[in-house]
C-alpha cells in the first residue's frame, strides 16, 4: 500500500473512533434484523438529524484510523550508517587511526555523523511532505441527513448515518445495506480481488462477517451498483481498524534518479579508493612515509565522495512535490516528479478535462422539428422528452441553497425539464422507480422503469447509436407513434452530425409505456427493446479556459496529445480542434474500429506524428492504447476517472486521476491527482518535473566540479614525492565539502526554470542525470580551470616567500607561516572558484545574463554564508588552529578575488560557443 492509500481516504486522527458504548452502542450486532438494528442505532432510513450526528461525532470521535506511531526512526537513522559511502568513510577513519593520525580519524568520524544526521533529517522531511499531501485530498461521503442528501467529509461519519455507496466509491465505514445492490472489491481486507455482490436481499450466511451478504466494509471499494446503507461502525472499530497492520506503510520506493545517482557516487567512490590505493606505493616510493601516504589516500577518498548529494536530491524532489500540490497536482511518489519531466505523450479524456463538465442543453431535435432552447419552445413533445430524460437520472438537482450533485449530463437534463416546466423532484422520481439499469461505459446508455398513476414505463437515455437500435418507433408531430423508417434514421443522422460538428454532445431519449398488467422487466435486454424515440437533446460543454494555451505549450515541448473519450467521434474531434489538439479533419478512431485493429496496426498508427481522437472508447481501450504507446518507447501520462480506468492508470508511467469528479478507485490507482481536474495542470506538472530534473543536474554539476581542485593538490604532492608540500589539508577539504558547499547546492535545487525549458523536446528515457557532457563540463572545464587557478595561487604565495622545491615548510621552519598562508590560499581559492561554478551551473545553455544575475536570492544567501564561514576559518584563531590556516593579507585576497569571474567566464564562453553551433536536430 502506498503512503497515501489507507490514511488518505480516511483521514488520520490522533484519537481514533473515541470511546465505545455511547448512546447508540457502537458494538451493535450488524447482522440482527434491520428493524432492530435501526432501533439499536437509534436511526431510521431517513438518516440522522444533523444535530444528533454532531453529538455522536463528539462521542465516537472522527472516522479515521489512528496512525500507529511506530518508532521507526532509530532504524532509519541506523540505516544511514550502513550505506556504502558511510562504510567507506569508516574504513578511511580506521586507516587514519592506524596510520597514527587520530585527529584526521576523528574528523572523518565527525563527517560520517554529520552526514548521517543530515541525510536522516532530509529524508524525514521529504516523507512528511508526501504525508502532508493527504490533506489536499479530503475524502467525502454521501449521506442522508435530516432526510436530505448531503456530501460530508468522511471523517464526520458516525454510527447511525445513512451512507450512500455507489460505483467508484471507497466505502468509508462498516455498514449494513438497507436498499439496493453493489459489487464490492474486498481485496483490501481479504486479499481476494474478485468483486463480490452485496445487497439488501436477506441470505442465510454463516461464518465470518466478511462473508455476510448485506454488509459492506470500510477500506473496500464499490465497483458497481448503488446502495443505501446504515453505518454500524466507524474509525478504529471497523474491520479495517482492527487489521492494524494495514496502517503500516510499505517500503518507500527509490526513484530511478536516486538509483542512478547512488550508482554514480558508488562508482566514483570505487575509483577514488582504487586511485588512493594505487598511489600508496607511489607515495611511499617517492619518499613519503607510510602515514603521510595513508593520509594522502584518505584525502583522495574524502575529496571525491560527494557526501551531500543524495539528501539534496531527495530534498529537491520533495520540494517539487510540494510545489506541484500548491499548483493543483498531488503527486503520490517522489519519483513521479522526474518521470513527469520526461513525458512524451498525454492521453486525455475530453469531458471535464478539456471541457468544463458544465453542460447545458441548447438544442432539441424532435421527429420533424428542431428547437433552440434559447427561444420559445411550443412543441409539447419537448416537455415529454425532457420529463422522460429527467426521470431517467440519479443526480440531485440544485435546490435553493445546495448546488446540484451527480453526473453533469444528467444535471443538464434536469435543468432542461425545470426550464420547460416539467421539473422532476428527486423524491417523486425515486419513489416511482421500480427498476434501474445503470449507465455503463460499455453500453453507454441508462434505463429506468417508472410507475406513475399505476402505469409502468421504461425510459432510456444514452448515446444515440446505442439507443437507436433499441427503438422501433418514433414520436410523430401529433403525438402519434410511427415506425422508425430509413428516411427518419437518415434525417436523424444528418442532425446528429451537424450537432457533433459544432462540438455538441448528443443524447437520445426514448420510452416505452408498458401494457396494463405487464410487470416491470427484470433484465436489461427486455427493458430496452421496442422503444419509441422521443428525440435528441444536444448540449454544450464549453472548453476550459487555459486549455488551449496549455495544449500549445505541450506541443512546444514536443509532447503529443491523444484524446480518448467515451463521446461521439465528431463531437470529440470538434472540441479537440477547438483547444488545438489534432489537425482539422485529423484521425478519429471509433471504438469498433479500434477493436478491429491488430496490435501491429495500432503500434503503427501510434508511431506516426498524428494526434488521434479515440472516440466511443471503452475503458479497456485506454489500457490497450497505453500499452501500445509504452511498447513504442513513449512515456505516457494517462488521465482517467472511472473505476474501469484503474488498470490503465496503474499501467501508465503517470496515471492522472481527477480529484473532483473522479472516483476513489481511480484516485487510488493514479500516481497524480489533479485537484482542479484541469488539463492545463498536467502541463504545469510536466514543466515542474522538467525543472526539478534540470536543477538536480545543476547541483550535481556544482558538486562534482570542485573534486578536481581538491584532488590535484594531493596528486602534485604525491607525484613530487613531497618536494611540493601538501597544498590542501584533509580537514580543509572537509570544511569545503560539508561547510561551504551545501547551502549553495540546496539553492541551486530551487533555481527558477531556464528560459526555453518547455521549448525543448522531452528528455529521452535513457538520458541519465549524469552524462558525458555533464562530467566533461564539471571535471574538465569548471574543475580544470579551478585547479589551475588555485594551484597558481598556491605556488605564487610560496614563491613570493622565497620557497624552492624541497625546502622545509614544517613547523619551526622559516617558511612555515608562508606555507600556512599558501594552503589557506588553496582553500579560499577553491571557495572562490565554487562561487563562480555556482553561477555557471545556474544555466545549462542560456547565458546567465538572460536569466538575470540576482534571480535566485537563495543562492545569494548561500554564497554569503559561504563567505562568512570561510572568513571565520581563515581569521579566527581557534579555527585557524583546527584547520591549519593563517590570516591572508589584502594583496593575497586580491589574488583570489578574480577567481569566481574567471571560472564563470570560462563556462559562459563555452556556453556561447555551444549556442552558436547549429542546434542538433530535435526529434
Question: Sign of torsion, CA 272 278 284 289?
Answer: positive
Among 23, 383, 441, 580, binds ligand ATP (CB under 6 A): 441
Minimum CB–partner distance for residue 407 and ligand ATP (Å): 4
Closer Cβ to ligand ATP, 355 or 834, answer by number: 355
Closer Cβ to ligand ATP, 316 or 588, answer by number: 588
The rounded Cα 335 to chain-centroid distance in angstroms is 9
Rounded Cα distance between 252 and 281, Å, is: 44
Site string (332-351) toward ligand ATP, x via CB under 6 A: -----------------xxx
Closer Cβ to ligand ATP, 499 or 827, answer by number: 499
**Residue 323, interface with ligand ATP (CB under 6 A)?**
no
For ligand ATP, which stretch binds (CB under 6 A), given 201-209, 380-388, 560-568, 797-805?
560-568
Q: Which of 40, 349, 450, 737 is catalytic?
A: 349
**Cross-strand bridge partners of residue 531:** 471
Among 47, 566, 793, 836, binds ligand ATP (CB under 6 A): 566
- Contact at 8 Å (CB) between 388 and 462? no
Rounded Cα distance between 312 and 811, Å, is: 40
Element (H, E) at 109: helix 102-132
Among 145, 429, 459, 461, binds ligand ATP (CB under 6 A): 461
**Residue 621, interface with ligand ATP (CB under 6 A)?**
no
From the CA atom positions of the chain, what is the Rg in Å?
A: 35
Minimum CB–partner distance for residue 499 and ligand ATP (Å): 12
Minimum CB–partner distance for residue 583 and ligand ATP (Å): 20
Closer Cβ to ligand ATP, 389 or 859, answer by number: 389
- Contact at 8 Å (CB) between 313 and 257? yes
Segment 408 to 427, residues that bind ligand ATP, using CB under 6 A: 409-410
Q: Residue 483, exposed/middle/buried by CB under 10 A (0-12, 13-18, 19+)? A: exposed
Minimum CB–partner distance for residue 495 and ligand ATP (Å): 15
Closer Cβ to ligand ATP, 80 or 511, answer by number: 511
Closer Cβ to ligand ATP, 565 or 885, answer by number: 565
Instruction: Write the DSSP symbol of residue 170.
Output: B
Rounded Cα distance between 286 and 292, Å, is: 11
**Residue 528, interface with ligand ATP (CB under 6 A)?**
no
Minimum CB–partner distance for residue 320 and ligand ATP (Å): 28
For ligand ATP, which stretch binds (CB under 6 A), given 228-236, 303-311, 561-569, 766-774?
561-569
Minimum CB–partner distance for residue 502 and ligand ATP (Å): 15
DSSP string, 40-101: HHT--TT-B-HHHHHHHHHHH--S-EEP-----HHHHHHHHHTSHHHHHHHHHHHHHHHTT-
**Residue 678, interface with ligand ATP (CB under 6 A)?**
no
Among 323, 407, 687, 737, binds ligand ATP (CB under 6 A): 407
Site string (498-527) toward ligand ATP, x via CB under 6 A: -------x-x--------------------
Closer Cβ to ligand ATP, 568 or 714, answer by number: 568
Segment 8 to 27, residues that bind ligand ATP, using CB under 6 A: none
**Residue 404, interface with ligand ATP (CB under 6 A)?**
no
Minimum CB–partner distance for residue 486 and ligand ATP (Å): 23
Closer Cβ to ligand ATP, 412 or 863, answer by number: 412
Number of residues that bind ligand ATP (CB under 6 A): 21
Instruction: Write the DSSP symbol of residue 738.
Output: I
**Residue 663, interface with ligand ATP (CB under 6 A)?**
no
The CA dihedral of 512, 516, 520, 524, to the nearest 10 degrees, is -30
**Residue 445, interface with ligand ATP (CB under 6 A)?**
yes
Instruction: Give the pairing type, strands 560-564 and 588-590.
Output: unpaired
Instruction: Give the pairing type, strands 162-166 and 471-475.
Output: unpaired
Backbone angles phi, psi at 617, to 5 degrees: -80, 140
- Contact at 8 Å (CB) between 676 and 684? no
Closer Cβ to ligand ATP, 187 or 578, answer by number: 578
Rounded Cα distance between 26 and 38, Å, is: 13
Length of the chain counted residue by residue: 923
Minimum CB–partner distance for residue 81 and ligand ATP (Å): 51
Segment 365 to 394, residues that bind ligand ATP, using CB under 6 A: none
Backbone angles phi, psi at 286, to 5 degrees: -75, 0
**Residue 439, interface with ligand ATP (CB under 6 A)?**
yes
Minimum CB–partner distance for residue 629 and ligand ATP (Å): 17
- What does the angle CA 489 – CA 490 – CA 493 come to, to the nearest 5 degrees? 85
Closer Cβ to ligand ATP, 568 or 699, answer by number: 568
For ligand ATP, which stretch binds (CB under 6 A), given 106-114, 149-157, 418-426, 442-450?
442-450
Among 463, 637, 781, 828, binds ligand ATP (CB under 6 A): 463
For ligand ATP, which stretch binds (CB under 6 A), given 213-221, 440-448, 704-712, 736-744?
440-448
Among 416, 363, 419, 412, which Cα is nearest to 386's?
A: 416
**Residue 722, interface with ligand ATP (CB under 6 A)?**
no
Q: Look up 610 and say whether it is catalytic.
A: no
Which residue is at the shortest CB distance from ligand ATP? 566
Assign 3-class secondary structure to 387-411. HHHHHCCCCECCCCCCCCECCHHHH
Q: Residue 633, exposed/middle/buried by CB under 10 A (0-12, 13-18, 19+)? A: exposed
Minimum CB–partner distance for residue 541 and ligand ATP (Å): 9
For ligand ATP, which stretch binds (CB under 6 A), given 179-187, 461-469, 477-485, 898-906?
461-469
**Residue 562, interface with ligand ATP (CB under 6 A)?**
no
Instruction: Write the DSSP symbol of residue 608.
Output: S
For ligand ATP, which stretch binds (CB under 6 A), given 416-424, 562-570, 623-631, 742-750?
562-570
Minimum CB–partner distance for residue 546 and ligand ATP (Å): 18
**Residue 706, interface with ligand ATP (CB under 6 A)?**
no
Among 900, 835, 879, 894, which Cα is nearest to 734's?
A: 879
- Contact at 8 Å (CB) between 613 and 569? yes
DSSP string, 261-329: HHHHHHHHHHHHHHHHHHHHHHHHHTT--HHHHHHHHHHHHHHHS-TTHHHHHHHHHHHHHHHHHHTTE
Among 175, 236, 422, 446, binds ligand ATP (CB under 6 A): 446
Closer Cβ to ligand ATP, 568 or 702, answer by number: 568
Among 643, 588, 589, which Cα is nearest to 620's?
A: 643
Half-sphere exposure (Cβ direction) of 315: Cα atoms closer than 13 Å: 20
Minimum CB–partner distance for residue 179 and ligand ATP (Å): 21
**Residue 462, interface with ligand ATP (CB under 6 A)?**
yes
Closer Cβ to ligand ATP, 352 or 762, answer by number: 352
Instruction: Give the pairing type, strands 588-590 and 613-615.
Output: parallel
- Contact at 8 Å (CB) between 676 and 321? no
Minimum CB–partner distance for residue 616 and ligand ATP (Å): 7
* Contacts for 230 with CB less than 8 Å, ≥ 6 apart: 37, 38, 41, 43, 45, 160, 161, 162, 163, 175, 176, 178
Q: 137: how many CB neighbours lie within 10 A of its CB?
A: 18
**Residue 544, interface with ligand ATP (CB under 6 A)?**
no
The rounded Cα 777 to chain-centroid distance in angstroms is 32
Among 43, 565, 742, 826, binds ligand ATP (CB under 6 A): 565
- Contact at 8 Å (CB) between 684 and 675? no
Query: Mind telling me the catalytic residues?
Result: 349
Q: Which residues bind ligand ATP (CB under 6 A)?
A: 349-352, 407, 409-410, 439, 441, 444-446, 461-463, 505, 507, 565-568
Amino acid at each position: 500500500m502506498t503512503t497515501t492509500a489507507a490514511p488518505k481516504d480516511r483521514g488520520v486522527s490522533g484519537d481514533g473512533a473515541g470511546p465505545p458504548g455511547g448512546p447508540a452502542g457502537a458494538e451493535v450486532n450488524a447482522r440482527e434484523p434491520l428493524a432492530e438494528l435501526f432501533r439499536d442505532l437509534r436511526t431510521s432510513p431517513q438518516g440522522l438529524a444533523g444535530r444528533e450526528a454532531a453529538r455522536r461525532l463528539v462521542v465516537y470521535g472522527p472516522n479515521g484510523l489512528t496512525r500507529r506511531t511506530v518508532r521507526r526512526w532509530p532504524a532509519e537513522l541506523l540505516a544511514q550508517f550502513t550505506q556504502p559511502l558511510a562504510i567507506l568513510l569508516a574504513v578511511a577513519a580506521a586507516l587514519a587511526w592506524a596510520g597514527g593520525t587520530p585527529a584526521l580519524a576523528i574528523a572523518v568520524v565527525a563527517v560520517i555523523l554529520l552526514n548521517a544526521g543530515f541525510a536522516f533529517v532530509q529524508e524525514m522531511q521529504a516523507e512528511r511532505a508526501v504525508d502532508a499531501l493527504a490533506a489536499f485530498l479530503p475524502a467525502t461521503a454521501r449521506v442522508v441527513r435530516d432526510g436530505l442528501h448531503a456530501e460530508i467529509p468522511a471523517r464526520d461519519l458516525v454510527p447511525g448515518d445513512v451512507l450512500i455507496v455507489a460505483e467508484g466509491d471507497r466505502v468509508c465505514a462498516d455498514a449494513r445495506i438497507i436498499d439496493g445492490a453493489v459489487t464490492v472489491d474486498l481485496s483490501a481486507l481479504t486479499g481476494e480481488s474478485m468483486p463480490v455482490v452485496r445487497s439488501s436481499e436477506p441470505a442465510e450466511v454463516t461464518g465470518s462477517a466478511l462473508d455476510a451478504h448485506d454488509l459492506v466494509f470500510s477500506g473496500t471499494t464499490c465497483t458497481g451498483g448503488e446502495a443505501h446503507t446504515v453505518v454500524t461502525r466507524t474509525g478504529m472499530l471497523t474491520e479495517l481498524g482492527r487489521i492494524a497492520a494495514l496502517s503500516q506503510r510499505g517500503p518507500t520506493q527509490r526513484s530511478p534518479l536516486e538509483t542512478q545517482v547512488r550508482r554514480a557516487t558508488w562508482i566514483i567512490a570505487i575509483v577514488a579508493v582504487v586511485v588512493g590505493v594505487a598511489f600508496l606505493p607511489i607515495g611511499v616510493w617517492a619518499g613519503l612515509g607510510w602515514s603521510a601516504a595513508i593520509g594522502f589516500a584518505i584525502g583522495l577518498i574524502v575529496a571525491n565522495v560527494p557526501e551531500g548529494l543524495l539528501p539534496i536530491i531527495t530534498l529537491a524532489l520533495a520540494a517539487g512535490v510540494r510545489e506541484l500540490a500548491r499548483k493543483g497536482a498531488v503527486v503520490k511518489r517522489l519519483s513521479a516528479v522526474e518521470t513527469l519531466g520526461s513525458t512524451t505523450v498525454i492521453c486525455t479524456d475530453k469531458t471535464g478535462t478539456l471541457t468544463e463538465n458544465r453542460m447545458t442543453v441548447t438544442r432539441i431535435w424532435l421527429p420533424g422539428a428542431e428547437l433552440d432552447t434559447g427561444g420559445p419552445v411550443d412543441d409539447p413533445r419537448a416537455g415529454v422528452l425532457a420529463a422522460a430524460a429527467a426521470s431517467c437520472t440519479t443526480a440531485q438537482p440544485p435546490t435553493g441553497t445546495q448546488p446540484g450533485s451527480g453526473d453533469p449530463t444528467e444535471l443538464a437534463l434536469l435543468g432542461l425539464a425545470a426550464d420547460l416546466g416539467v421539473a422532476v423532484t428527486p423524491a417523486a422520481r425515486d419513489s416511482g422507480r421500480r427498476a434501474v439499469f445503470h449507465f455503463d461505459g460499455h453500453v453507454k446508455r441508462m434505463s429506468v422503469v417508472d410507475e406513475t398513476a399505476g402505469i409502468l414505463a421504461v425510459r432510456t437515455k444514452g448515446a444515440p447509436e446505442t439507443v437507436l437500435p433499441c427503438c422501433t418507433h418514433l414520436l410523430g408531430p401529433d403525438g402519434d407513434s410511427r415506425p422508425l423508417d430509413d428516411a427518419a434514421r437518415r434525417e436523424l443522422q444528418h442532425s446528429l452530425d451537424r450537432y457533433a460538428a459544432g462540438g455538441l454532445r448528443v443524447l437520445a431519449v426514448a420510452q416505452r409505456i408498458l401494457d396494463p398488467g405487464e410487470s416491470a422487466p427484470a433484465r436489461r435486454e427486455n427493458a430496452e427493446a421496442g422503444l419509441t424515440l422521443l428525440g435528441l437533446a444536444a448540449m454544450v460543454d464549453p472548453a476550459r479556459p487555459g486549455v488551449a494555451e496549455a495544449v500549445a505549450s505541450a506541443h512546444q515541448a514536443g509532447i503529443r496529445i491523444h484524446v480518448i473519450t467515451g463521446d461521439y467521434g465528431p463531437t470529440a474531434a470538434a472540441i479537440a480542434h477547438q483547444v488545438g489538439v489534432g489537425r482539422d479533419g485529423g484521425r478519429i478512431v471509433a471504438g469498433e474500429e479500434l477493436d478491429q485493429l491488430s496490435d501491429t496496426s495500432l503500434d503503427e498508427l501510434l508511431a506516426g506524428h498524428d494526434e488521434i481522437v479515440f472516440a466511443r472508447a471503452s475503458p479497456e481501450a485506454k489500457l490497450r492504447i497505453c500499452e501500445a504507446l509504452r511498447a513504442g518507447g513513449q512515456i505516457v501520462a494517462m488521465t482517467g476517472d472511472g473505476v474501469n480506468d484503474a488498470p490503465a492508470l496503474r499501467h501508465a508511467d503517470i496515471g492522472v486521476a481527477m480529484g473532483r469528479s473522479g472516483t476513489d478507485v481511480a484516485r487510488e490507482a493514479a500516481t497524480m491527482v489533479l485537484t482542479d481536474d484541469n488539463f492545463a495542470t498536467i502541463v504545469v506538472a510536466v514543466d515542474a518535473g522538467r525543472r526539478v530534473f534540470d536543477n538536480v543536474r545543476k547541483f550535481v554539476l556544482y558538486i562534482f566540479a570542485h573534486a578536481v581542485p581538491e584532488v590535484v593538490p594531493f596528486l602534485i604532492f604525491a607525484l613530487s614525492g613531497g618536494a611540493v608540500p601538501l597544498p590542501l589539508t584533509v580537514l580543509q577539504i572537509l570544511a569545503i565539502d560539508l561547510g561551504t558547499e551545501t547551502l549553495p547546492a540546496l539553492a541551486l535545487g530551487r533555481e527558477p526554470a531556464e528560459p526555453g525549458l518547455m521549448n525543448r523536446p522531452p528528455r529521452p528515457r535513457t538520458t541519465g542525470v549524469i552524462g558525458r557532457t555533464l562530467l566533461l563540463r564539471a571535471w574538465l572545464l569548471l574543475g580544470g580551470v579551478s585547479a589551475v587557478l588555485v594551484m597558481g595561487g598556491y605556488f605564487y604565495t610560496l614563491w613570493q616567500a622565497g620557497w624552492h622545491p624541497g625546502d622545509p615548510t614544517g613547523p619551526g621552519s622559516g617558511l612555515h607561516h608562508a606555507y600556512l598562508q599558501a594552503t589557506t590560499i588553496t582553500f579560499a581559492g577553491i571557495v572562490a572558484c565554487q562561487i563562480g561554478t555556482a553561477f555557471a551551473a545556474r544555466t545549462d545553455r542560456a547565458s546567465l545574463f538572460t536569466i538575470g544575475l540576482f534571480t535566485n536570492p537563495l543562492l545569494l544567501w548561500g554564497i554569503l554564508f559561504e563567505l562568512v564561514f570561510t572568513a571565520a576559518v581563515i581569521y579566527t584563531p581557534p579555527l585557524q588552529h583546527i584547520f591549519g590556516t593563517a590570516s591572508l593579507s589584502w594583496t593575497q585576497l586580491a589574488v583570489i578575488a578574480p577567481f569566481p569571474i574567471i571560472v564563470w567566464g570560462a563556462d559562459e564562453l563555452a556556453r556561447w560557443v555551444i549556442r552558436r553551433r547549429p542546434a542538433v536536430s530535435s526529434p
